[in-house]
Structure formats: structure tokens, C-alpha cells
């Protein structure tokens, strides 16, 4: 539903090679842009495809729950997914959980929005839906001048073909705090309101939390409750998915706060 068949086979083949040709059981992409990978830091082990598929199934289960009438579901996905494009890994992502959830929701809906609030641009999700008018992709993230990935997530990336105008990127400067972040969130919510989706897929990263080792923003736990309430205020069922976030304490505090807001 989201990836090329040749890409999935590539992952399976590399996993099979990991124990034989890998380094301590891990197969690493050779260089940036080669071996179907955005970077050299997203290795494969023999069971990576299996584990990534289990993560994707969590997202698909959440999508099925909201299709059956649950107002909101939070899918704790690991590995995350939003850097996985139609044909490449990257950023610790193998299968794009958000894109798979959105594709499942499109089975019974005309329009779905993906709101990506990880500090890193969800290049993979944007890639998969870049030429679609049925999915609005809205992302608030660190400016690619300093954030990962360095080549995508610019404001002028707005879509292609019939999908022109259905990608909305808001890159923000280092050390963005809640007041500035909320302004960007409000702009995204206004765009979503005009799009009028049947469902909301929330790619929620907690690497926006102050002190995250791969972060750069200054959000705190109570801010995620406001995010949850703001997303629920759209008035559509919500599939929330865990993306990045690399400090366990922040993952706990941010998740509980987000759930409070979604409830």
C-alpha cells in the first residue's frame, strides 16, 4: 500500500545477508543515497523486516479501530516509520507506519490528513503522497539547514501534479519554544480545517521535547496535552503514531500528556 515491491524484497534479501556479510550481524548501507537508504545509520539485522512489520501492524490496528468507531487510538510503534519512502530506508525507519495507516483509512474515506510533529521532516510520508490530492501532509519540523534530513522539508515543497498544494511544510529555527511552535500548529490546523479530512493521522515525535539528544526544540510535557486537545478539536477520529524521541523519561511524560489531551 505504500512501498515498491522491489524495495520490500531488497529488505528481505539484506536481512538474509546480515549474519553472513554483515558486521556483528548487522548489514549497513554503503554510502548516502546508495543501497536504497537515505543514510548509512539505518542497519538491517536478520529479523528487522519482521520487527518493522509488527510495528506497522500496530499502526494498521489503530487505523482499523478508528474505522470501527473508536474516537482516537495511540499506536506505540517501534521502529518508527516516517523517513521510509516508497523505495528507501532512513532515519531508523523501514516501513512507513503513518502512510500505511493513511492508506488503510483511504479504503473508506475520500480525504485523510497526516499531521507530522516529529522534529525531523517526514520525507518518506511526503514522498509517498506527494502527487496525491486525497492526503494533505502537514509537517512542523526543524529547518533542514540544521535538522535531519538536510535535503527535504523546505517550505516551497508543496506537492506535484494533482497533489500540488497538498504538502504544507513549516521548518522552524533551532531552540523554537512553545509560543512560536503553537503559532505554527495553529496555521497547520487552519489548513487542515479547510481540507476537511475524514480522519487525522498524527505522526507524533517526542524529539521536540526539551533536552532530547537528537532534538533542538524546547517543548515540555504540558505542551503535548495542548497538541492532543487541538487535534481532537478538529472533530475527526485520530490515529496517533509514535515516531521519534530518544529520552525514555520524555517519551513517558510526553505520551501521557498527549493521551490526556486526546481524551
Quote the number of domains for the chain.
1
pLDDT at 21: 80
Residue 118 is assigned to a structural domain of this protein:
yes
Residue 15 is assigned to a structural domain of this protein:
no
Residue 234 is assigned to a structural domain of this protein:
yes
pLDDT at 23: 82
Strands, sheet with 199-204, edge to edge from the N-terminal-most edge strand: 72-75, 238-242, 199-204, 112-116, 135-142, 167-172
Residue 18 is assigned to a structural domain of this protein:
no
User: Quick one: cell of 20?
Assistant: 553472513
Residue 44 is assigned to a structural domain of this protein:
no
186, burial (CB in 10 Å: exposed 0-12, middle 13-18, buried 19+) = exposed
Residue 21 is assigned to a structural domain of this protein:
no
1, burial (CB in 10 Å: exposed 0-12, middle 13-18, buried 19+) = middle
Q: Within the chain, which residues score under 50 in pLDDT?
A: none
Report the candidate in 172, 233, 232 with the shortest Cα–Cα distance to residue 208: 172
| CATH classification at residue 123 | 3.40.800.20
pLDDT at 33: 72
Residue 41 is assigned to a structural domain of this protein:
no
In the chain, how many H helices and how many E strands? 7, 6
Residues of the domain holding 169: 54-262
Specify whether 83 is catalytic. Answer: yes
Residue 250 is assigned to a structural domain of this protein:
yes
pLDDT at 19: 84
pLDDT at 32: 73
Active-site hit among 3, 10, 83, 120: 83
pLDDT at 5: 97
pLDDT at 34: 78
Residue 98 and residue 201 in contact, taking contact as beta carbons nearer than 8 Å: yes
Amino acid at each position: 500500500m505504500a512501498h515498491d515491491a522491489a524495495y520490500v524484497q531488497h529488505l528481505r534479501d539484506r536481512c538474509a545477508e546480515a549474519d553472513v556479510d554483515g558486521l556483528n550481524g548487522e548489514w549497513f548501507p554503503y554510502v548516502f543515497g546508495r543501497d536504497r537508504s537515505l543514510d548509512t545509520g539505518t542497519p538491517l539485522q536478520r529479523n528487522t523486516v519482521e520487527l518493522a512489520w509488527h510495528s506497522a501492524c500496530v499502526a494498521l490496528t489503530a487505523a482499523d479501530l478508528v474505522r470501527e468507531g473508536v474516537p482516537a487510538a495511540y499506536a506505540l510503534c517501534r521502529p518508527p516509520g516516517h523517513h521510509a519512502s516508497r523505495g528507501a530506508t532512513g532515519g531508523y525507519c523501514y516501513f512507513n507506519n503513518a502512510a500505511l495507516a493513511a492508506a488503510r483509512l483511504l479504503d473508506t474515506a475520500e480525504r485523510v490528513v497526516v499531521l507530522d510533529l516529529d522534529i525531523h521532516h517526514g520525507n518518506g510520508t511526503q514522498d509517498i503522497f506527494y502527487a496525491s490530492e486525497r492526503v494533505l501532509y502537514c509537517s512542523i519540523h526543524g529547518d533542514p539547514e540544521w535538522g535531519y534530513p538536510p535535503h527535504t522539508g523546505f517550505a516551497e515543497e508543496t506537492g506535484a501534479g494533482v497533489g500540488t498544494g497538498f504538502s504544507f511544510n513549516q521548518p522552524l529555527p533551532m531552540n523554537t519554544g512553545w509560543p512560536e511552535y503553537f503559532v505554527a500548529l495553529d496555521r497547520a490546523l487552519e489548513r487542515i480545517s479547510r481540507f476537511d479530512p475524514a480522519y487525522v493521522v498524527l505522526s507524533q515525535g517526542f524529539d521536540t521535547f526539551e533536552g532530547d539528544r537528537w532534538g533542538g526544540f524546547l517543548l515540555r510535557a504540558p505542551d503535548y496535552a495542548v497538541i492532543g486537545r487541538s487535534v481532537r478539536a478538529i472533530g475527526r477520529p485520530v490515529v496517533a503514531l509514535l515516531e521519534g524521541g530518544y529520552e525514555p523519561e520524555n517519551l513517558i511524560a510526553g505520551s501521557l500528556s498527549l493521551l490526556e489531551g486526546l481524551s
